[in-house]
Amino acid sequence: MIIFINERPIKVVGKKKAQALTSTEFDHLIDAQLEAIKANSLQGHVLIINVLSPTISRLFSLLKNEELPNLQSITLVSENKDATETQIKSQYKLVRAAGGVVRNEEGKVLMMYRLKKWDLPKGKLDKGESFKVAAVREVEEECNVKARLDEKICTTYHTYTYKNEAILKQTKWYSMELVDDTKMKPQFEEDIEKLEWMDRKQIHTAMINSYYSIRYVLKKYFYEGEDK
C-alpha cells in the first residue's frame, strides 16, 4: 500500500519485502520498539521498522498537526501489514475511484491539463459500478475518446479534507488502448483546460508540474509493470 499525504508517499511493506530495502535509500532509520517518533526525526526519506498500532497513531498525529517541511517519504515495515493498512484506512472515510493511462498507436499517452497541473483521467465510482467500468467511463467523459481496457497498473491512495471530513481516495489505475479520438475534447466543466498526446520525453518534462501520485502511476506503467 502506498498513500500520498500532502504529496508525500507513505508506503507500508511487510517483513519479506523489507529484506530488499537498503539503508542507503533512507536518511533516517527509526526502530519504533526502541524510540518514540518525533517531528524532528521526520526529515528526508524515513524508514520506520517494527511498526505497531501506537506507532501509526503517533505518526498520523504528527502528519496531521506538524508542518514537517523537510519530509520527503516514509516507509513503514510491519509484522502484520494487513492490520497496519486497516488501521490507517480506519482514520478516513474511504472514497473509491478509477482512472486510465491511454496509449495511442504511436505509443503516446493521453495527458490532461487540469487546475494548472498535468494529470490523468480519473474519477469516482458511481453507485454499484465496478472499478473497470468506471475507469473506461471516466476516460470517455473527461476526454471524449473511446478506449479499450487492458491490464491493471496499480492502486494509489491519497488524502484530502472535504467539509471538515478526512477522506482517503482509493484509485485503481488501468492501462488502455485508444479506439477512437476523432471527437477528443476536454470536459471543461471538470476544469480540464486541454488534452495532449505525449511521448516519454514530453511526459518527463510535464511531470515537473504534476502530482506525486501521477508520477508514481506513470513510473509503474512505463518501468515496473503490473502491481495488483
Q: Are residues 24 and 79 in the same domain?
A: yes
Residue 43's domain spans which residues? 2-89
Q: Are residues 172 and 134 in the same domain?
A: yes
Q: Which of 61, 89, 117 is the C-terminal boundary of a domain?
A: 89
Q: Are residues 68 and 145 in the same domain?
A: no
Q: Are residues 105 and 207 in the same domain?
A: yes
Q: Are residues 101 and 157 in the same domain?
A: yes
Task: Please count the structural domains in the chain.
Answer: 2
Q: Are residues 144 and 172 in the same domain?
A: yes
Q: Are residues 10 and 120 in the same domain?
A: no
Q: Are residues 109 and 85 in the same domain?
A: no
Q: Are residues 113 and 138 in the same domain?
A: yes
Per-residue pLDDT of the chain (228 residues; tens, 9 = 90+): 999 998 999 999 999 999 999 889 999 999 999 999 999 999 999 999 999 999 999 999 999 899 999 999 999 999 999 999 999 999 999 999 999 999 999 999 999 999 999 999 999 999 999 999 999 999 999 999 999 999 999 999 999 999 999 999 999 999 999 999 999 999 999 999 999 999 999 999 999 999 999 999 999 999 875 444
Q: Which of 89, 112, 140 is the C-terminal boundary of a domain?
A: 89
Q: Are residues 144 and 43 in the same domain?
A: no
Q: Which of 66, 89, 112 is the C-terminal boundary of a domain?
A: 89
Q: Are residues 48 and 132 in the same domain?
A: no
Q: Is the pTM of this model over 0.95?
A: no
Percent of the chain with pLDDT over 90: 92
74-114 tens-digit pLDDT: 999 999 999 999 999 999 999 999 999 999 999 999 999 99
**Strand 93-103 relative to strand 165-180, pairing:** parallel
Q: Are residues 101 and 191 in the same domain?
A: yes
